[in-house]
Amino acid sequence: MVSLSVPGTHLHFLLADQQHGGHLLEFRQHRVEVSVQLLSQMELGLPMSEAYLQLDFQRNINQDLEKVEK
């Protein structure tokens, strides 16, 4: 799964209006509702195009996280 996701545990947020969300990097408590979703199975559909099947999925995870989170 390292090619598809961030290794380890991380948190996401979703605003009450459901218009914005993403990775939770830090926060200051005001009013917070926390929910936990435990997944034991996941179904993932991937493209079967030639371009996708020949794609090199090796990546620098730390560099990717730095780019996304900054």
pTM of the model: 0.45
Residue 70 to residues 9, 12, 46, 47, Cα–Cα distance (Å):
19, 16, 28, 29
Total domains, the chain = 1
Task: Give me the domain span that covers residue 5.
Answer: 1-39+46-70
pLDDT tens by residue, 34-65? 888 888 998 989 899 999 999 888 877 778 77
Q: What is the SS3 assignment for 23?
A: strand
Confidence of residue 29 (pLDDT cuts 50, 70, 90): confident
